[in-house]
Amino acid sequence: METLQGKTAVVTGGASGIGRATALQLAREGAAVTVADLNEAGGQGVVDEIKEAGGRAIFARCDVSQTADCKRTVEETVAAFGGLDILFNNAGIIRRADVLDTTEAEWDQVKAVNIKSIFLMSKYAIPHMAAAGGGSIINTGSGWGLVGGGDAVSYCASKGAVVNMTRAMAIDHGPQNIRVNCICPGDTDTEMLRNEARQLGQSDDTFLEGAGDRPLQRIGTPEDIAQSVLYFAGEQSAWTTGAILVVDGGGLAG
């Protein structure tokens, strides 16, 4: 049975990795999906995949750090599908450097893409959810929103903010039946992880192998994370808000 029949979702960063897998998963469950991303070719590819499988989807070219793009993405979604029920705030970037080697421009960019994006997308989405009697917002944090990591100071700062703004938003919008939850993935096999390897001057293979050193002895797949997003998107989690779910093969367990 399709659990999200009649629902509409926006997935930011939907062209690749965790966002792509989640867009496909939500569509399989019957949701109409807006794939919002800077990457037009990748995003359109995900839309085509959804449509070929019989689903409904549109692409919105969106830089999530820009007010006008976020506003237009929400407007295009509502125009295409008649509402907005699920917002997956997932687009993100990482700069692998400490304070000394992070430029001020990089600091501002990581904050804009990883934090301000959630503020902007939610600002425009929440009125539509409230008007419809509720909705579900899922923010992508990180294990590094809960513990620190080396050579990633701007990223750790941004993901710590995502974790706590999730709680603040849950408090503010609970009375409108808008649930706000956060997924904290551990190392997941996506372009971002490979990009980290390059930034650190390591080979992809060595880096990914090291990342699998955790109780479940492998790195995550984008589909592992998409399953958890699905839980927060649907009615299974109807009484869950302000929750921070670590999905990391046990990496933070000990």
Per CB under 6 A, residues contacting ligand NAD are: 12-13, 15-19, 37-39, 42, 62-65, 90-93, 113, 140, 142, 185, 187-188, 190-193
Q: What minimum distance in Å lies between the beta carbon of 176 and ligand NAD?
A: 25
Report how far residue 233's alpha carbon sits from residue 142's, in angstroms, rounded to the nearest whole number. 18
Q: Which residue type sits at 12?
A: T
Establish whether 155 is a catalytic residue.
Answer: yes
59, 124, 155, 207: which is the annotated catalytic residue?
155
CB closer to ligand NAD out of 174 and 212: 212
Q: What minimum distance in Å lies between the beta carbon of 169 and ligand NAD?
A: 16
Q: What minimum distance in Å lies between the beta carbon of 187 and ligand NAD?
A: 4
Report how far residue 114's alpha carbon sits from residue 126's, in angstroms, rounded to the nearest whole number. 19
Which class for 212: exposed (0-12), middle (13-18), buried (19 or more C-beta within 10 A)? Answer: middle
Q: Torsions phi, psi of 182, nearest 5? A: -135, 135
CB closer to ligand NAD out of 44 and 176: 44
CB closer to ligand NAD out of 5 and 67: 67
Which class for 155: exposed (0-12), middle (13-18), buried (19 or more C-beta within 10 A)? Answer: buried
Q: Which residue type sits at 173?
A: H
Q: Which residues are catalytic?
A: 155
